[in-house]
Structure 1
Amino acid sequence: MCSPQTHGLLLFLLFLSTVLVPPSSSLAEAASSTPHINSNSILVALLDSRYTSLAELLEKALLLPTLESAVSRHNLTIFAPTNDALDRLLDPDFKLFLLQPRHLPSLQSLLTFHVLSSPFPLSSADADGIRHPTLGDDSVSLSVDNAGVVRVDSAAVVHPNDVVRPDGVIHGIDRALIPRSVQDEFNRRRSLRTISAVLPVGAPEVDPRTHRLKKPAAPVPAGAPPVLPIFDAMAPGPSLAPAPAPGPGGPKGHFDGESQVKDFIHTLLKYGGYNEMADMLVNLTSLATEMGRLVSEGYVLTVLAPNDEAMAKLSVEQLSEPGAPEQILYYHLIPEYQTEESMYNSVRRFGKVRYETLRVPEKVVAREADGSVRFGEGEDGEGTAYLYDPDIYTDGRISVQGIDGVLFPPKADKKRKATTEKKAVKVAAAKPRRGKLMEVACTLLGAFGQHSCR
């Protein structure tokens, strides 16, 4: 026999078990409240039919749990746009608007606008013109047009009762249904974007002849003869409109020419293959100083840099004359900022382009050849050079373009060739003159011998 204290404790534990542990009927109700989707559901049918694009949107909109919960409570009616209606007929801008993460509520409102919370098998007799509430806060109207086609708002039902399942029915429609709230939100976003967008405005055009701003031309009626001279009608050449150089990069807002010259010389040394050109610039301190002064004053320069193989072909006579190295390098400095793209586009358009050089008044000629730029007056071979390593250095206001030959001005090249030809003519003329004198001498000696014998 148990004590009174033990008997009281047993009664208290029995009371707690009856209060805390629910009966079996309560457990059954809790289990039935959990949504359960089987393979025969209309939500699964969306994946195996012509409405897969709609199923993807439902997944992106995070609406599958909501639809599963709705299916567990009552049957549904889905007006499903076909894949073609969503992929091809939907406006791309509007679709992009819906797929943006910040517009998720708009996408959810649009998709729930296609779902009714009651089964609705569709026929012409069922289209009563009454508005039916959807899963969202809107409603749709069913009607029949003059051709006997059932319509849901503005969309035509092209596949009525396409998929029928125990938990609902799917009707195929030819376009997406767009609620007024979603359309207004899209229009408002598009208007704000259009208003806040800053349209790019080009820099004012300058007349290359007068260096004054061009005034906008008056509108010309269609078919009228041109009112501008032919010079203005054509686009300016590369010498009039070189490639724009970057702006001031120094700490005080001015052009630090000395540091830019040092930078591009160091770049030539590290790039490899242009050591001779870099050494010549280092030794010619006056030329490097002048280049830095020009850049500091706001000028731009393009350096045509011969590689080491080309510099090795220079003879001692060409470099031993006073001022010869400076004159050679001056002919490789163009007072314009040119890149590979700007030079190639120029020679492709104009055929032959003459660039000013610091060796005034000599100019260097550029042509298009083999998909590249060829410099020099002559044909392929001596006196010409190809653009070999483009855009070696394009920082600041200096552009360095590597070439595979040393260039000489046309006059100096012609003078050198004429001197060589003159020497060859003199040597060639001496040989026949010497033979002629010997022939005359032999003739005289022969005549003198005959006269003495008599």
Structure 2
Amino acid sequence: MNHLVCRCILVSLLLASSAFASTNHSNGRGQEIRSKSILVALLDSSYTELAELVEKALLLQTLEDLVGKKNVTIFAPKNEALERDLDPEFKQFLLEPRNLKSLQTLILHHIVPSRIELIKNVIKTTRKRALSNHHLRLCSANNRLLVDESVEVVDHNSIIRPDGLVHGVNKLLVPHSVLEDFNRRRELRSISAVLPTSAPTVDPRKMKRAPRSKMGPAAAAVPIFDALAPGPSLAPAPAPGPGGPHHHFDGASQVQDFITTLVHYGGYNELADILVNLTSLATEMGQLVSQGYVITVLAPNDEAMAKLTADQLTEPGASEEIMYYHIIPDYQTEESMYTSVRRFGKVWYETLRLPHKLLAEEADGSVRFGSGDDSAYLFDPDIYTDGRISVQGIDAVLFPSQLANSAAAVKKVVAKQRRGTLTS
């Protein structure tokens, strides 16, 4: 974005919020210094690249509210430092919608909720807690003021305002948590295979009832592919592919790999436990992948799984029924799903729980599945992507809305039949 355009937009937003606050002075929210805010001054300076990141991190209102209550100190990298030293891959990571939390943590790591006036060469080693909840270590060494031992303050007291001040630094301050997120995403991308072009297309009409699970007979028919019927004699030969000793897809190993990744990633132990111990789903998915199909698993995290009641899990076949609705017989990544919902508004995905489809649409810069109270957001994108299996973390367990509607319809029919019997 052009710096001048960005500056005009952000200044207008901040001044608008300042004017609004001034009109509400009587209820304690007005601040006379808002039009002279340190944030406005930041926009009309050599720190517009940082100001643009603040806007992309959706932190303008949060910081405007903060400086209306207390002084802040901003350690701000200058434009030339960001343009010269910021790794393009890291910048792309920060600007991806799925990494909004990392970008916010990074921005807040540059801001201390107190006023720190620096005098060159006159500073004792001290620690200050930034808004990111990480500590910044300030010290003086070799005639230089340093932050976290490697970032130099090159322009101390660069901007001074009643509600705060800015110290110019020569690098971006990156907290360890953000760096770990970046490295984890990069490692996952490096082990991902290219999406195979020869993967067969799944025809949901060729599904049939699932084999009985270890939990006993299912209360209702749960559709699954013909290829997943029990018995080794019924299983066709594996589809040609890059994996396995004979260049076939090794579905069992790939499924085991993604389950292991879930455990190592953290926060998905409940789902991993269901896949390994409580159902035959892992075996079924392995067979499916071995035959050349691709799947996307929407994985509810532990917090979401903990909200399931005992009744929802103890019914025979209940775990399978729930999980089939979270498996899409197609290969989707965070990028492909987000692009689809941005372009088409609402997208319906087939699931292994016929005839129920899953609605996806854009919401809050992410992808939301389902609707109303029965919805879930794409929370941990691309946990696992190997070209055949894609695992996308979500923050709630999904249930087909049609089930509630059909149950209500059945009750109406039964009630009508009863009324007819009584009148006759």
Same fold, judged at TM 0.5 (above): no
> Which has the greater radius of gyration?
1
- State the TM-score, normalized to the length of structure 2: 0.39
Highest RCO, 1 vs 2 (Cα 8 Å, sep ≥ 6): 2
More strand per residue: 1 or 2?
A: 2
